Structure 1
Amino acid sequence: MSIATGLPDHALSYRLPELRSPSFIEFPTGPACRFCAARRGIVEPVTIYRDSYAKLCLRHRVWVGGDNLDTQVDVSALPELTNAQRRHRNLVRHRPGYAEFVYTTAERIVSGWTARRLWGESRDRRLFTLFGDEPARFPRDSTEFNIANYPEIVSLTSILISYHWITKAVSPERTPEDLRQFYAEVRHRLGIDIGRDGFVDQHDPLTVWVEKQQHNLERNHYQRDHTQPLRQRTTPTTWQEVG
């Protein structure tokens, strides 16, 4: 195939994932940017292999993170989405595999905020900028909300993937000051008012996730060392996930 196409083996392996070993690994697919396809004279929908972080076509500033051409939205009016795409790409390249898992966790937390109508100022602004409509009109799992939440999802991913910050939130030696610093960093990066003055809503999706991970960590630690007390979990569980 390399001789027939004139492309080196490594290029073919990148463009045709089935050629890689092991071949049973599934690779993400999705619609190609309609403008990129049009440049090549293609007007029909084209499905391509793409990296897990590819939510935007950076050339045309179009959202391509949906399942079809109808979800490809011009996002050029929101430069923070382009910046989020570049940060997302860097996270995946530095921590392949793990970054995708953490991104999914951050996505669920931000989706929880959306469901509870928490920390929605930036989200609502983006929805109005792109669609000029009331946020309540869109379903929680819609493309519109996926676009509007993207910068916060990437920012939260960058915190949860950091050993420094995650061990402030989840650690056998965690202190109240550690938690204060963790939520202060979340406030700073995401521009939300969570955890100010030491108060944290125990039903907040991020708090629920943090305390569930802490409880699981302490339980595992207690099973190894019964001389240490097991702290009772005080927050509810909203989804079954262990990171």
Structure 2
Amino acid sequence: MTRPRLLPVPLAPLPNELIGSYLNRLADANRLPIRRIDALIATGRHHSRDKDDLTGWTLSSIERLAALTGRNSPALIHALPSLAALAQPNPLPTPPASLTPTAWKTKVCQLCAASRGVHGLAVQRTYPHQRICLQHQRWLGGRQLPISPRFHELIRANIRHRRLLRGHRDPLQPSALHDEARTMTSRWFSNNNGPLELQRTWDDRLQMLNPDTESDPHDDRNLIEMVTYPETVVLTTLLSKPHNPVHHDFLAEVIRSFGLDPRSLPALHRHTTLPSSMRNPDTPSHPSRHRPGSKSTA
């Protein structure tokens, strides 16, 4: 097959960009239909902007993309993470599901993209600590929002979050534990089963971020994740500590960390399921069913 020629506008990929996003940006910049780019790299498939899988790709596809863009294969593999799996001759073992963090498909910060000359839609793969652009102080969730100076605790929480990853031997584990922590705060928020002090804090933040009284901010999942993020980071830090699930009263430590009324402990026991990372085969998932020193009723 003939080696493709360099495109008139050979855009560079953005860090951690999705393959579909990059190919569609190449097509837009060169005023070509995306199916033409697909044909030139010979993957035999159509790439939508939010896709990042390697179906139909071979090492030859990477080489053809390199020829189209005037970049070498290692540079493309470095910028487009999913290509690394294809280029790795001996892939590493897949980590356990409990240690595999969720990767989101997130729009690149509009201000970061503009600084690189990108003005169209670009989508990248992000992990929990990358949901905030520290440089431009923007939340990069479902829709991008500037972070108000009144909500600077969100920035402080993100700095702590990034520091937690840097100080951990396995950076994947804190990201996976963040998923567990996010599930806990989401349940406390959505079911109104969380401590009253946290519910008031979250409601105040929602009103600050969404003063429009005609819409209910409690239905906006992006806002909910944003207002609960500082507490989610605290829970992630607690979950990252070594502990014995039988002898370590995790929820009592939660109360101490948040400065909550100790009388809220029974409610937390009722409405909180221990994350899988804290369980062992002999430990029930619900803390209210097993407490240190309790006797079996069987």
Using structure 1 for the length normalisation, give the TM-score. Answer: 0.67
1:161-188 alpha-carbon deviations (Å, 9 max, x no partner):
111xx42xx12xx2xxx52xx4443123
1:79 paired with 2:152, answer: yes
Deviation of residue 83 (structure 1)?
1.4
Whether the 8 Å contact between 2:132 and 2:158 is mirrored in structure 1 is: yes
Look up the match of 1:189: 257
Q: Which amino acid aligns with 1:204?
A: H
- Residue 154 to residue 27, structure 1, CA distance change in 2 (3 Å): closer
For structure 2, the residue ranges without an aligned partner over 5 or more in a row are 1-65, 95-101, 285-293
Q: What is the identity, as a one-letter code, of the residue corresponding to 2:270?
A: H
CA 1:19–1:232 in structure 2 vs 1: closer, same or farther (change >3 Å)? farther
TM-score (norm 2): 0.56
Q: In angstroms, what is the RMSD of aligned CA positions?
A: 3.7
Structure 1 segment 86-165 matched on structure 2, within 5 A:
86-93=159-166, 94=168, 95-117=170-192, 118=194, 119-133=198-212, 137-140=216-219, 142-163=221-242
- 2:282 corresponds to 1:217: yes
Mapped contact 1:80–1:151 kept (Cα < 8 A): yes
Which whole-Å deviations, capped at 9, do the CAs of 1:14-35 have from their partners, x for residues lacking one?
Answer: 3221342466999643211111
- Using the TM superposition, give the Cα deviation of residue 102 of structure 1 relative to its aligned residue in structure 2, in angstroms: 1.2
Residues 126-149 of structure 1 show CA distances to partners (whole Å, capped at 9, x for unaligned) of 112222256991245611111101
Contact 2:138 2:145 in 1 (8 A): yes
Higher relative CO (Cα under 8 Å, sequence separation at least 6) belongs to: 2
Match of 1:40 in 2: 116
Aligned-partner Cα distance in 2 for 1:49–1:139: 27
- The DSSP-based 3-state class of the residue aligned with 2:145 is coil
CA distance in 2, matches of 1:218, 1:72: 41
In 1, Cα distance between the equivalents of 2:173 and 2:152?
27
- Structure 2 contact 165–174 (Cα < 8 Å) conserved: yes
Write the letter of the residue equivalent to 1:158: T
The structure that has the greater radius of gyration is 2
Q: After the TM superposition, which segments of 4 or more aligned residues of structure 1 sit over 3 Å from their partners?
A: 11-14, 21-29, 49-52, 133-136, 210-216, 229-233
Say whether the 8 Å CA contact 1:115–1:140 is kept in structure 2. no
Count of paired positions: 203
Partners of 1:60 and 1:197 in 2: how far apart? Answer: 41
CA distance in 1, matches of 2:276, 2:117: 53
Larger deviation, residues 79-88 vs 14-23: 14-23
